[in-house]
């Protein structure tokens, strides 16, 4: 080696030190050195890209790169060229890391003499050559192994590491590369840092190159490879399992704390026959029984009073549902406390399964809703009172209209009966039917502003009288619009004389612009009016009225509403009586 020209690349930003190295290497006897210098890492990498370099002397503090990262950048670019770190940083820990990462030596400026530098260069080149030879030999051995075995190892999802009797790494599969965060070339030929005990299975943490940790389960077996005893370590990543185990442990602690600290929620576990297995503190507080008083006893005998038939039926319905559907169900049920009080409980009952997925019992979570039930009952009674008051006011308003127009007495109520029947025939929800009824019984409220002599005039109305009459929907709307009904009553009253083709009044609305409730009310109004006597004409009769809406279906009147009305009279024999 001494008679060979050794090409050295010095990556050093200090010109003075570079000149010193030139002098030191030039005066070496028995060896020839050719020194190239680069002041920046980028320049050094560019020179290395051209090849023909035997060894690199690398400073770790350069203008464009600092610290050990400088070494990694060079090593990744040319792993086949030995690298000697030559730096002013006298840091033993850093030196160890550099050598572990692949540096052949770590020399400190100011502590390096001529002989040490030359010897380090020769040793680095020779050591690197031996390592490369070892890697080549290892590679040749691996390539000569059975292809099927290698294919299995390469594709195995578990990490596979093979080491010799000295725990030196001979093989690393891709999965192991991923686990360690290192390429195989960084691990081959180096000691395996974890205990190798044949026949043992252990859990351990692997330190990755990026500083992360991987939890693995390692199984080691002794085997032969190339007629030599080796150890095959199978590494299974159990990081997610460990996380799940930890999460489960924390969840169990959390759930236990909830079970024991829920002072207002009862949690009761039973077997399939309702024998009590668990009774939390919340159940003790809510129901008055200590756990030791009730565990082992029958839940139904304790909590559900004999005189509550509906309660017993609810319990059986819940049990049957869970047995059949294997899922949770909620209900409101009465439970009796130790001191005899009856509580309303919002109870969620869930199935409990064993490790084989077989139903083995029930879990009930209960919340006292007695106060809410009392409030609901008070609200219901209050709502009923308000509804009765509103109905009374509406009846009074309807009566006011009929007193001024005795010829149409009962007209609004009959229209309301027919309109609601049509709505039910059409399958409308109860809420809309209530709206239609309320609007119908006062739909002519606007007539209270029309002079009585016009309302009861037996002859034809003049044009002025007719215009006054046609104002009654608008007047009715103005009267009702400030009343906060739960439905659009004022709009329904306003639109009940509108027609599908826009020929109605007061606003000439058409089609879908007219509320469905108003379209229904309009047909009920015209049918009842034609079928009844008026001061200016005799009754036309129901058949004439039905003929009118049939002929004008789709023109003046909504086809679906007309069809429902016709079915009521012709198929279901509806009458106004």
- Given the structure tokens 């490879």, which residue do they identify? 225
Domain boundary among the residues 368, 399, 423 is at: 368
Residue 222, both tokens: 């002794």
Both 298 and 384 in a single domain?
no
What is the Cα–Cα distance from 485 to 324, expressed in whole angstroms?
46
- Do residues 161 and 169 make contact, with C-beta atoms less than 8 angstroms apart? yes
- Given the structure tokens 């009769």, which residue do they identify? 541
Q: What is the pLDDT of residue 385?
A: 77
What is the Cα–Cα distance from 512 to 461, expressed in whole angstroms?
31
Task: Quote the strand ranges of 252-295, DSSP E.
Answer: 265-271, 276-279
Q: What is the pLDDT of residue 263?
A: 66
What distances in angstroms separate CA 4 from CA 37, 117, 122, 156, 400, one per listed residue? 20, 17, 11, 46, 126
Both 345 and 386 in a single domain?
no
> Does residue 251 fall inside a structural domain?
no
Q: What is the pLDDT of residue 404?
A: 62
Q: With a cut of 70, which residues of the chain have pLDDT below it? A: 1-3, 28-31, 139, 141-152, 254-263, 305-308, 386-387, 389-393, 395-396, 398-409, 456, 534-536
- What residues contact 80, with CB distance under 8 A and at least 6 apart? 132
Both 478 and 560 in a single domain?
yes
- What angle do the packed helices 516-531 and 430-441 form, to 10 degrees? 50
- Do residues 513 and 495 make contact, with C-beta atoms less than 8 angstroms apart? no
Task: Quote the strand ranges of 51-158, DSSP E.
Answer: 55-58, 61-62, 65-66, 83-87, 105-108
Both 384 and 465 in a single domain?
yes
What is the Cα–Cα distance from 342 to 408, expressed in whole angstroms?
55
Both 360 and 425 in a single domain?
no
Both 364 and 442 in a single domain?
no
Handedness of CA 16, 19, 23, 25 (dihedral sign): positive
- Given the structure tokens 């127009």, which residue do they identify? 405
Both 226 and 289 in a single domain?
no
> Does residue 14 fall inside a structural domain?
yes
* CATH classification at residue 156: 3.30.450.20
- What residues contact 52, with CB distance under 8 A and at least 6 apart? 7
Q: What is the pLDDT of residue 406?
A: 59
> Does residue 255 fall inside a structural domain?
no
* 86 exposure class (CB count in 10 Å sphere: 0-12, 13-18, 19+): buried
Domain count, the chain: 4
Model confidence, pTM = 0.42
Side-by-side strand order, sheet with 32-38: 32-38, 5-11, 55-58, 83-87, 105-108
> Does residue 280 fall inside a structural domain?
yes
> Does residue 552 fall inside a structural domain?
yes
Both 412 and 476 in a single domain?
yes
Structural domain containing residue 319: 262-368
Both 384 and 501 in a single domain?
yes
> Does residue 307 fall inside a structural domain?
yes
Helices (H) and strands (E) in the chain, counts: 23, 17
Domain boundary among the residues 136, 165, 199 is at: 136
Tens digit of each residue's pLDDT (9 = 90 or more) over 245-277: 888 888 777 666 666 666 678 888 899 988 999
Q: What is the pLDDT of residue 400?
A: 67
Both 216 and 297 in a single domain?
no
> Does residue 295 fall inside a structural domain?
yes
Both 187 and 108 in a single domain?
no
Domain boundary among the residues 184, 207, 241 is at: 241
Q: What is the pLDDT of residue 79?
A: 87
Tens digit of each residue's pLDDT (9 = 90 or more) over 421-476: 999 999 999 999 999 999 998 898 888 887 777 776 777 778 888 888 889 999 98
> Does residue 141 fall inside a structural domain?
no
Both 154 and 132 in a single domain?
no
Q: What is the pLDDT of residue 1?
A: 43
Residue 444, both tokens: 């002519």
């Amino acid at each position: 080696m001494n008679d060979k020209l050794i090409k050295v690349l010095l990556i050093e930003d200090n010109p003075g030190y570079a000149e010193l190295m030139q002098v030191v290497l030039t005066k070496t006897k028995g060896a020839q050195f050719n020194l190239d210098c680069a002041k920046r890492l980028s320049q050094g990498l560019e020179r290395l890209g051209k090849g023909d370099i035997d060894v690199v002397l690398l400073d770790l503090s350069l203008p464009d790169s600092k610290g050990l990262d400088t070494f990694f950048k060079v090593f990744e670019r040319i792993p086949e060229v030995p690298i000697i770190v030559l730096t002013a940083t006298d840091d033993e820990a850093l030196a160890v890391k550099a050598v572990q990462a692949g540096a052949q030596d770590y020399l400190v400026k100011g502590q390096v003499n001529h002989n040490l530098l030359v010897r380090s260069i020769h040793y680095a080149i020779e050591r690197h050559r031996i390592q490369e030879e070892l890697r080549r030999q290892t590679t040749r051995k691996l390539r000569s192994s059975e292809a099927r075995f290698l294919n299995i190892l390469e594709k195995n999802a578990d990490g596979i590491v093979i080491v010799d009797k000295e725990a030196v790494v001979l093989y690393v599969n891709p999965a192991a590369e991923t686990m360690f965060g290192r390429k195989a070339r960084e691990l081959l030929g180096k000691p395996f840092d974890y205990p190798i005990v044949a026949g043992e299975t252990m859990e351990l943490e692997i330190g990755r190159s990026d500083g992360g940790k991987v939890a693995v389960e390692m199984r080691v077996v002794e085997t032969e490879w190339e007629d030599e005893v080796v150890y095959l370590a199978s590494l299974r990543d159990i990081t997610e399992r460990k996380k799940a185990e930890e999460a489960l442990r924390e969840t169990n602690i959390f759930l236990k704390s909830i079970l024991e600290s829920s002072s207002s929620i009862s949690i009761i576990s039973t077997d399939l026959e309702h024998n009590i297995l668990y009774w939390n503190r919340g159940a003790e507080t809510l129901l008055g029984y200590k756990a030791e008083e009730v565990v082992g006893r029958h839940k139904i005998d304790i909590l559900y009073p004999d005189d509550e038939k509906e309660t017993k039926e609810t319990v059986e319905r819940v049990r049957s549902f869970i047995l059949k559907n294997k899922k949770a169900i909620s209900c409101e049920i009465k439970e009796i406390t130790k001191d005899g009080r009856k509580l309303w409980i919002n109870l969620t009952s869930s199935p409990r399964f064993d490790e084989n997925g077989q139903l083995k019992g029930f879990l009930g979570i209960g919340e006292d809703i007695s106060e809410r039930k009392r409030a609901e009952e008070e609200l219901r009674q209050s709502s009923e009172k308000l509804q009765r008051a509103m109905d009374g006011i509406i009846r009074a308003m309807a009566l006011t209209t009929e007193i001024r127009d005795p010829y149409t007495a009962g007209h609004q109520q009959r229209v309301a009966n027919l309109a609601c029947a049509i709505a039910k025939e059409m399958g409308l929800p109860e809420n809309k039917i209530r709206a239609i009824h309320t609007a119908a019984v006062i739909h002519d409220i606007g007539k209270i502003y029309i002079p009585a002599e016009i309302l009861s005039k037996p002859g034809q109305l003049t044009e002025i009288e007719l215009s006054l009459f046609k104002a009654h929907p608008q007047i009715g709307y103005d009267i009702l619009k400030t009343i906060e009904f739960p439905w659009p009553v004022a709009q329904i009253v306003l639109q009940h004389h509108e027609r599908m083709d826009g020929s109605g009044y007061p606003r000439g609305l058409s089609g879908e612009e007219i509320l469905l409730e108003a379209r229904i009310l309009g047909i009920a109004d015209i049918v009842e009016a034609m079928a009844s006597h008026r001061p200016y004409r005799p009754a036309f009769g129901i058949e004439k009225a039905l003929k009118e809406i049939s002929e004008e279906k789709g023109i003046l009147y909504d086809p679906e509403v007309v069809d429902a009305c016709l079915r009521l009279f012709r198929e279901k024999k509806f009458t106004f009586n």
